[in-house]
Chains A and B, each alone.
Chain A
Amino acid sequence: MLEPKIVFALAAVLFSVGLYGVLSRGNLVLLLMSLELMLNAANVALVGVARYWAGMGGAADDFSRAHSGQFFTLMVMAVAAAEVGVGLAIIVAVFRRKHTSAADLATELKH
Protein backbone atom coordinates (compact mmCIF):
# COMPACT_ATOMS: atom_id res chain seq x y z
CA MET A 1 0.00 0.00 0.00
CA LEU A 2 2.87 2.35 0.62
CA GLU A 3 3.52 3.62 -2.85
CA PRO A 4 3.77 7.06 -4.45
CA LYS A 5 0.42 7.08 -6.19
CA ILE A 6 -1.38 6.25 -2.97
CA VAL A 7 0.46 9.03 -1.16
CA PHE A 8 -0.41 11.50 -3.88
CA ALA A 9 -4.00 10.35 -3.85
CA LEU A 10 -4.11 10.88 -0.09
CA ALA A 11 -2.73 14.37 -0.60
CA ALA A 12 -5.32 15.05 -3.30
CA VAL A 13 -8.20 13.90 -1.10
CA LEU A 14 -6.97 15.94 1.85
CA PHE A 15 -6.61 18.93 -0.46
CA SER A 16 -10.13 18.56 -1.76
CA VAL A 17 -11.50 18.27 1.76
CA GLY A 18 -9.67 21.46 2.65
CA LEU A 19 -10.96 23.16 -0.47
CA TYR A 20 -14.48 22.13 0.39
CA GLY A 21 -13.95 23.63 3.82
CA VAL A 22 -12.62 26.87 2.42
CA LEU A 23 -15.56 27.14 0.06
CA SER A 24 -18.28 26.17 2.50
CA ARG A 25 -17.20 27.74 5.74
CA GLY A 26 -18.57 31.15 6.45
CA ASN A 27 -16.53 31.95 9.48
CA LEU A 28 -13.17 33.44 8.77
CA VAL A 29 -11.40 31.46 11.47
CA LEU A 30 -12.76 28.17 10.23
CA LEU A 31 -11.96 29.20 6.72
CA LEU A 32 -8.36 29.74 7.73
CA MET A 33 -8.31 26.30 9.38
CA SER A 34 -9.44 24.67 6.18
CA LEU A 35 -6.71 26.58 4.43
CA GLU A 36 -4.21 24.99 6.80
CA LEU A 37 -5.64 21.64 5.85
CA MET A 38 -4.94 22.37 2.20
CA LEU A 39 -1.38 23.41 2.95
CA ASN A 40 -0.95 20.25 4.92
CA ALA A 41 -2.13 18.21 1.97
CA ALA A 42 0.49 19.88 -0.13
CA ASN A 43 3.06 18.93 2.49
CA VAL A 44 2.03 15.33 2.22
CA ALA A 45 2.64 15.42 -1.50
CA LEU A 46 6.02 17.11 -1.02
CA VAL A 47 7.20 14.53 1.49
CA GLY A 48 5.97 11.77 -0.78
CA VAL A 49 7.97 13.18 -3.68
CA ALA A 50 11.03 13.53 -1.47
CA ARG A 51 10.72 9.86 -0.52
CA TYR A 52 10.35 8.93 -4.15
CA TRP A 53 13.56 10.74 -5.16
CA ALA A 54 15.42 9.21 -2.22
CA GLY A 55 14.50 5.78 -3.54
CA MET A 56 15.69 6.48 -7.06
CA GLY A 57 19.32 5.83 -6.15
CA GLY A 58 22.20 7.89 -7.46
CA ALA A 59 25.44 9.54 -6.48
CA ALA A 60 26.30 10.81 -3.03
CA ASP A 61 25.48 14.38 -4.06
CA ASP A 62 21.90 13.37 -4.70
CA PHE A 63 21.51 12.38 -1.12
CA SER A 64 21.20 15.88 0.19
CA ARG A 65 19.26 16.92 -2.91
CA ALA A 66 16.68 14.25 -2.17
CA HIS A 67 15.91 16.13 1.01
CA SER A 68 14.67 19.12 -0.96
CA GLY A 69 11.07 18.05 -0.65
CA GLN A 70 11.33 17.77 3.10
CA PHE A 71 13.09 21.09 3.26
CA PHE A 72 10.30 22.69 1.34
CA THR A 73 7.78 21.08 3.64
CA LEU A 74 9.47 22.92 6.45
CA MET A 75 9.39 26.10 4.43
CA VAL A 76 5.68 25.67 3.83
CA MET A 77 5.15 25.18 7.52
CA ALA A 78 7.06 28.35 8.27
CA VAL A 79 5.12 30.31 5.70
CA ALA A 80 1.89 28.80 6.96
CA ALA A 81 2.77 29.90 10.45
CA ALA A 82 3.45 33.42 9.22
CA GLU A 83 0.24 33.40 7.20
CA VAL A 84 -1.81 32.19 10.15
CA GLY A 85 -0.27 34.87 12.30
CA VAL A 86 -1.13 37.67 9.90
CA GLY A 87 -4.45 36.11 8.93
CA LEU A 88 -5.62 35.79 12.47
CA ALA A 89 -4.51 39.32 13.23
CA ILE A 90 -6.61 40.50 10.29
CA ILE A 91 -9.55 38.51 11.58
CA VAL A 92 -9.20 40.13 14.97
CA ALA A 93 -9.07 43.55 13.33
CA VAL A 94 -12.13 42.80 11.24
CA PHE A 95 -13.93 41.52 14.25
CA ARG A 96 -13.17 44.70 16.13
CA ARG A 97 -14.69 46.74 13.37
CA LYS A 98 -17.68 44.66 12.48
CA HIS A 99 -18.26 42.58 15.59
CA THR A 100 -18.38 39.47 13.52
CA SER A 101 -15.97 37.12 11.88
CA ALA A 102 -18.37 36.11 9.12
CA ALA A 103 -16.62 36.21 5.79
CA ASP A 104 -19.79 37.03 3.86
CA LEU A 105 -20.42 40.20 5.75
CA ALA A 106 -17.11 41.76 4.91
CA THR A 107 -18.16 43.23 1.59
CA GLU A 108 -16.47 46.61 1.79
CA LEU A 109 -14.21 45.92 -1.16
CA LYS A 110 -17.25 45.97 -3.39
CA HIS A 111 -17.59 49.69 -2.95
Chain B
Amino acid sequence: MSPPLAGSQVVTLPFAGRRILVAGAAKGIGRATVARLVAEGAAVAALDRDAAALADLATALSGAALVTAVADVTDAAAIQAAVAEAASRLGGLDGLVNAAGIDLVAPVDAMAPADWARVMAVNLTGPMTVIQAAWPHLAAAGGATIVNVSSAAGLAPLKHRTAYCASKAGLQMASKALALEAAGFGIRVNVVCPGAVDTDLFRSYLEGAADPEAALAAVKARYALERIASPDEIAAAIVWLSGPDSSFVTGIAMAVDGGRSFH
Protein backbone atom coordinates (compact mmCIF):
# COMPACT_ATOMS: atom_id res chain seq x y z
CA MET B 1 0.00 0.00 0.00
CA SER B 2 1.50 3.32 -1.01
CA PRO B 3 1.06 6.29 1.30
CA PRO B 4 -1.68 8.70 0.27
CA LEU B 5 -0.57 11.76 -1.70
CA ALA B 6 -0.38 14.87 0.44
CA GLY B 7 -3.55 16.92 0.18
CA SER B 8 -5.50 14.35 -1.82
CA GLN B 9 -8.61 12.81 -0.34
CA VAL B 10 -9.84 10.15 -2.73
CA VAL B 11 -12.44 8.07 -0.93
CA THR B 12 -13.40 4.80 -2.57
CA LEU B 13 -16.02 2.81 -0.71
CA PRO B 14 -14.74 -0.71 -0.01
CA PHE B 15 -17.67 -2.42 -1.76
CA ALA B 16 -17.98 -0.07 -4.75
CA GLY B 17 -18.76 -2.17 -7.82
CA ARG B 18 -19.49 -5.34 -5.84
CA ARG B 19 -22.84 -7.08 -6.22
CA ILE B 20 -24.00 -9.12 -3.23
CA LEU B 21 -27.04 -11.35 -2.79
CA VAL B 22 -28.35 -11.65 0.78
CA ALA B 23 -30.83 -14.45 1.50
CA GLY B 24 -32.92 -13.97 4.64
CA ALA B 25 -32.43 -10.24 4.19
CA ALA B 26 -35.60 -8.69 5.55
CA LYS B 27 -35.01 -8.89 9.29
CA GLY B 28 -32.39 -9.33 11.99
CA ILE B 29 -28.83 -10.17 10.96
CA GLY B 30 -29.66 -10.22 7.24
CA ARG B 31 -31.21 -6.77 7.37
CA ALA B 32 -28.27 -5.30 9.29
CA THR B 33 -25.95 -6.87 6.71
CA VAL B 34 -27.84 -5.32 3.80
CA ALA B 35 -27.73 -1.89 5.45
CA ARG B 36 -24.00 -2.14 6.09
CA LEU B 37 -23.24 -3.40 2.58
CA VAL B 38 -25.11 -0.60 0.80
CA ALA B 39 -23.49 1.95 3.15
CA GLU B 40 -20.11 0.61 2.00
CA GLY B 41 -21.01 0.95 -1.66
CA ALA B 42 -22.30 -2.50 -2.67
CA ALA B 43 -25.24 -3.16 -4.95
CA VAL B 44 -27.43 -5.62 -3.04
CA ALA B 45 -30.12 -8.11 -3.97
CA ALA B 46 -32.25 -8.75 -0.87
CA LEU B 47 -34.12 -12.05 -0.89
CA ASP B 48 -36.66 -13.11 1.73
CA ARG B 49 -39.92 -15.02 2.03
CA ASP B 50 -41.52 -12.14 3.99
CA ALA B 51 -42.79 -9.70 1.34
CA ALA B 52 -44.01 -7.11 3.85
CA ALA B 53 -40.72 -7.00 5.76
CA LEU B 54 -38.83 -6.83 2.47
CA ALA B 55 -40.94 -3.86 1.36
CA ASP B 56 -40.24 -2.19 4.69
CA LEU B 57 -36.50 -2.71 4.13
CA ALA B 58 -36.73 -1.21 0.63
CA THR B 59 -38.51 1.84 2.06
CA ALA B 60 -35.95 2.23 4.84
CA LEU B 61 -33.09 2.08 2.31
CA SER B 62 -34.78 4.01 -0.51
CA GLY B 63 -32.22 5.53 -2.82
CA ALA B 64 -29.71 2.71 -2.22
CA ALA B 65 -28.59 0.30 -4.94
CA LEU B 66 -31.03 -2.38 -3.80
CA VAL B 67 -33.25 -4.88 -5.58
CA THR B 68 -35.61 -7.23 -3.74
CA ALA B 69 -36.97 -10.68 -4.47
CA VAL B 70 -39.59 -12.65 -2.57
CA ALA B 71 -38.81 -16.37 -2.30
CA ASP B 72 -38.61 -19.08 0.35
CA VAL B 73 -35.26 -20.91 0.64
CA THR B 74 -37.15 -24.22 0.93
CA ASP B 75 -38.65 -23.73 -2.55
CA ALA B 76 -35.86 -24.62 -4.97
CA ALA B 77 -37.72 -23.55 -8.12
CA ALA B 78 -38.62 -20.16 -6.64
CA ILE B 79 -35.03 -19.65 -5.44
CA GLN B 80 -33.64 -20.55 -8.87
CA ALA B 81 -35.91 -17.98 -10.52
CA ALA B 82 -35.33 -15.28 -7.89
CA VAL B 83 -31.54 -15.65 -7.94
CA ALA B 84 -31.47 -15.62 -11.75
CA GLU B 85 -33.53 -12.43 -11.80
CA ALA B 86 -31.41 -10.80 -9.09
CA ALA B 87 -28.19 -11.64 -10.95
CA SER B 88 -29.66 -10.31 -14.16
CA ARG B 89 -30.76 -7.03 -12.55
CA LEU B 90 -27.38 -6.49 -10.84
CA GLY B 91 -25.41 -7.65 -13.89
CA GLY B 92 -23.80 -10.57 -12.01
CA LEU B 93 -22.93 -11.61 -8.45
CA ASP B 94 -19.66 -11.11 -6.54
CA GLY B 95 -20.92 -12.35 -3.20
CA LEU B 96 -23.59 -14.29 -1.37
CA VAL B 97 -24.68 -14.13 2.27
CA ASN B 98 -26.97 -16.87 3.58
CA ALA B 99 -28.72 -15.45 6.64
CA ALA B 100 -32.08 -17.25 6.55
CA GLY B 101 -32.65 -19.50 9.55
CA ILE B 102 -35.19 -20.73 12.07
CA ASP B 103 -34.89 -21.93 15.65
CA LEU B 104 -36.49 -24.88 17.40
CA VAL B 105 -36.53 -25.50 21.15
CA ALA B 106 -37.93 -28.94 21.84
CA PRO B 107 -37.11 -31.82 24.16
CA VAL B 108 -36.35 -34.83 22.02
CA ASP B 109 -39.48 -36.77 23.08
CA ALA B 110 -41.69 -33.80 22.16
CA MET B 111 -40.14 -33.04 18.79
CA ALA B 112 -42.34 -33.83 15.79
CA PRO B 113 -40.47 -35.38 12.85
CA ALA B 114 -41.85 -32.60 10.67
CA ASP B 115 -40.25 -29.98 12.96
CA TRP B 116 -36.85 -31.67 12.67
CA ALA B 117 -37.27 -31.82 8.89
CA ARG B 118 -38.32 -28.17 8.67
CA VAL B 119 -35.22 -27.01 10.62
CA MET B 120 -32.97 -28.99 8.29
CA ALA B 121 -34.82 -27.71 5.21
CA VAL B 122 -34.42 -24.05 6.18
CA ASN B 123 -31.04 -24.03 7.98
CA LEU B 124 -29.03 -26.60 6.03
CA THR B 125 -30.66 -27.39 2.69
CA GLY B 126 -31.80 -23.78 2.20
CA PRO B 127 -28.31 -22.25 2.03
CA MET B 128 -27.15 -25.02 -0.33
CA THR B 129 -30.14 -24.34 -2.59
CA VAL B 130 -29.23 -20.65 -2.78
CA ILE B 131 -25.54 -21.47 -3.32
CA GLN B 132 -26.37 -23.80 -6.20
CA ALA B 133 -28.55 -21.16 -7.83
CA ALA B 134 -25.88 -18.48 -7.41
CA TRP B 135 -22.87 -20.67 -8.23
CA PRO B 136 -22.54 -19.96 -11.99
CA HIS B 137 -22.63 -16.23 -11.33
CA LEU B 138 -20.14 -16.41 -8.46
CA ALA B 139 -17.77 -18.63 -10.44
CA ALA B 140 -17.91 -16.21 -13.37
CA ALA B 141 -17.18 -13.16 -11.21
CA GLY B 142 -13.62 -14.01 -10.11
CA GLY B 143 -12.76 -13.36 -6.44
CA ALA B 144 -16.30 -13.97 -5.18
CA THR B 145 -17.26 -14.70 -1.57
CA ILE B 146 -19.84 -16.82 0.22
CA VAL B 147 -20.64 -16.23 3.90
CA ASN B 148 -23.03 -18.62 5.60
CA VAL B 149 -24.56 -17.67 8.94
CA SER B 150 -24.33 -20.64 11.28
CA SER B 151 -24.45 -20.29 15.06
CA ALA B 152 -22.27 -20.67 18.13
CA ALA B 153 -24.75 -23.48 18.81
CA GLY B 154 -23.12 -25.26 15.89
CA LEU B 155 -19.78 -25.12 17.74
CA ALA B 156 -20.86 -25.80 21.33
CA PRO B 157 -24.17 -27.55 22.05
CA LEU B 158 -27.29 -26.21 23.76
CA LYS B 159 -29.88 -28.29 25.62
CA HIS B 160 -33.22 -28.89 23.87
CA ARG B 161 -31.78 -27.67 20.54
CA THR B 162 -30.84 -30.99 18.86
CA ALA B 163 -32.20 -30.06 15.44
CA TYR B 164 -30.97 -26.48 15.55
CA CYS B 165 -27.44 -27.43 16.69
CA ALA B 166 -27.19 -30.25 14.14
CA SER B 167 -28.38 -28.04 11.27
CA LYS B 168 -25.91 -25.29 12.16
CA ALA B 169 -22.97 -27.71 12.61
CA GLY B 170 -23.94 -29.31 9.31
CA LEU B 171 -23.86 -25.93 7.59
CA GLN B 172 -20.33 -25.38 8.90
CA MET B 173 -19.01 -28.63 7.48
CA ALA B 174 -20.85 -28.15 4.18
CA SER B 175 -19.20 -24.74 3.95
CA LYS B 176 -15.73 -26.13 4.63
CA ALA B 177 -16.11 -28.93 2.09
CA LEU B 178 -17.36 -26.35 -0.40
CA ALA B 179 -14.39 -24.07 0.41
CA LEU B 180 -12.03 -26.76 -0.94
CA GLU B 181 -13.98 -26.96 -4.18
CA ALA B 182 -14.62 -23.22 -4.46
CA ALA B 183 -10.93 -22.27 -4.16
CA GLY B 184 -10.39 -23.44 -7.73
CA PHE B 185 -12.90 -20.81 -8.85
CA GLY B 186 -11.33 -18.07 -6.75
CA ILE B 187 -14.33 -18.19 -4.40
CA ARG B 188 -13.80 -17.94 -0.63
CA VAL B 189 -16.34 -19.66 1.63
CA ASN B 190 -16.58 -18.78 5.32
CA VAL B 191 -19.02 -19.13 8.19
CA VAL B 192 -20.05 -16.74 10.94
CA CYS B 193 -21.21 -18.27 14.22
CA PRO B 194 -23.20 -15.73 16.24
CA GLY B 195 -24.15 -16.13 19.86
CA ALA B 196 -27.53 -14.81 20.99
CA VAL B 197 -28.50 -11.76 18.93
CA ASP B 198 -31.23 -9.23 19.61
CA THR B 199 -33.53 -10.22 16.71
CA ASP B 200 -37.22 -11.13 16.28
CA LEU B 201 -36.11 -14.77 16.29
CA PHE B 202 -34.44 -14.37 19.67
CA ARG B 203 -37.32 -12.34 21.13
CA SER B 204 -39.80 -15.03 20.11
CA TYR B 205 -37.60 -17.56 21.94
CA LEU B 206 -37.70 -15.43 25.09
CA GLU B 207 -41.46 -14.96 24.83
CA GLY B 208 -41.86 -18.72 24.63
CA ALA B 209 -39.90 -19.26 27.84
CA ALA B 210 -41.70 -19.92 31.14
CA ASP B 211 -39.88 -17.00 32.77
CA PRO B 212 -38.56 -14.66 30.03
CA GLU B 213 -36.51 -12.55 32.45
CA ALA B 214 -34.78 -15.60 33.91
CA ALA B 215 -34.26 -16.98 30.39
CA LEU B 216 -32.56 -13.75 29.29
CA ALA B 217 -30.32 -13.76 32.38
CA ALA B 218 -29.37 -17.38 31.70
CA VAL B 219 -28.50 -16.55 28.09
CA LYS B 220 -26.36 -13.57 29.08
CA ALA B 221 -24.49 -15.72 31.61
CA ARG B 222 -23.31 -17.97 28.77
CA TYR B 223 -21.09 -15.23 27.34
CA ALA B 224 -17.86 -13.87 28.78
CA LEU B 225 -19.06 -10.39 27.77
CA GLU B 226 -22.29 -11.06 29.75
CA ARG B 227 -24.61 -9.58 27.14
CA ILE B 228 -26.28 -10.48 23.86
CA ALA B 229 -25.20 -9.02 20.53
CA SER B 230 -26.83 -6.44 18.28
CA PRO B 231 -27.43 -7.51 14.65
CA ASP B 232 -24.93 -4.85 13.58
CA GLU B 233 -22.12 -6.65 15.45
CA ILE B 234 -22.75 -9.81 13.44
CA ALA B 235 -23.15 -7.88 10.19
CA ALA B 236 -19.70 -6.35 10.77
CA ALA B 237 -18.12 -9.82 10.71
CA ILE B 238 -20.14 -10.94 7.68
CA VAL B 239 -19.17 -7.82 5.77
CA TRP B 240 -15.51 -8.24 6.73
CA LEU B 241 -15.51 -11.83 5.45
CA SER B 242 -17.13 -10.56 2.22
CA GLY B 243 -14.48 -7.88 1.71
CA PRO B 244 -10.84 -7.46 0.65
CA ASP B 245 -9.30 -7.47 4.14
CA SER B 246 -10.04 -11.19 4.60
CA SER B 247 -8.37 -12.07 1.26
CA PHE B 248 -6.45 -15.15 2.55
CA VAL B 249 -9.22 -16.40 4.84
CA THR B 250 -11.29 -19.33 3.61
CA GLY B 251 -12.95 -22.32 5.25
CA ILE B 252 -13.18 -20.75 8.69
CA ALA B 253 -16.04 -20.73 11.17
CA MET B 254 -15.70 -17.39 12.96
CA ALA B 255 -17.37 -17.27 16.34
CA VAL B 256 -18.91 -13.85 17.03
CA ASP B 257 -20.27 -14.99 20.35
CA GLY B 258 -18.98 -12.65 23.05
CA GLY B 259 -16.73 -15.43 24.34
CA ARG B 260 -18.64 -18.72 24.65
CA SER B 261 -17.22 -21.34 22.32
CA PHE B 262 -13.56 -20.21 22.44
CA HIS B 263 -13.19 -21.76 19.01
Question: Do chains A and B stick together as partners?
Answer: no
Interface, chain B (partner A; CB < 8 A): none
Interface, chain A (partner B; CB < 8 A): none
